[in-house]
Amino acid sequence: MYFTAPVWNSSKNLYKVAFLPSYDFEYSEYRETSSGNLTDPPNESSEKFNTIIISIANTIYNEGSNWFSSPIKQSVFLKRVRHTYSFPTDGNNYGGNMLRVVFSPTTLFIKANIFEIHWTTRFENYTETHSDNIEYSEDLTQAEPTRTIVIQSHPADIEILENEDIPFDNLPSELELSSRAIQKKRVREARLKAAVATMKAEQMVEKYFRRYGTKINTDFDSDSDLSFESEEEDSE
């Protein structure tokens, strides 16, 4: 798993989803310590960065399929995503001429018209080794003084998300949606089964009429519906 379940924040009218610690979605760049660009946002147009964002979109679609009444489509996510970045203030404390700037997504905010990913940043000396298999240490997760940069992604192209899929009104605070989505899915499945049963009953009535030339009463109550379907399954 890469995410926690969405939690509703009524005061800000948004859902908050936390990224679980993982190196899979990290992005890094090498920068000179004397260049003055240590706290610049990453190159969002780079192939590597966009590959990571696509991977996040695909993971949200698959892992978050039960978050809401329908999954968040990758195309919708990619069109409406924007990014904010927090940087540590100790970039000048590292020795050497080169630093590795590592961006890690920590939080996804789902709002009425956008998806916002918040990234934290850490600096590593150019000579430091890094492995995808090592686990996060406490040093990497300790709070540091940060400043935040907000990057807007084509606000003119943003459309309002369908409230049908992601509800934003009249919700209790701090509501986890996974159980509600599961119940809603069960209701839909029950309705589908009922529709199939009705269709089978109508087909049998039509078959009876063609064979015997007379109609039978189709005003079944719930008990007779169940009995009718059961008898049909037995005959099959």
User: Which residue ranges make up each domain of the chain?
Assistant: 7-125, 179-215
Mean pLDDT of 133-162: 44
**For residue 131, is pLDDT > 70?**
no
Distances (CA, A) of 181 to 3, 33, 60, 70, 165: 16, 49, 15, 9, 11
| Nearest residue to 64 via CA among 180, 178, 165, 223 | 178
pLDDT for 134 beyond 90: no
pTM for the model:
0.58
- Angstrom distance (rounded) from CA 206 to CA 131: 68
Sequence-separated (6 or more) residues with CB below 8 Å from residue 196: none
Mean pLDDT, rounded, of the chain: 75
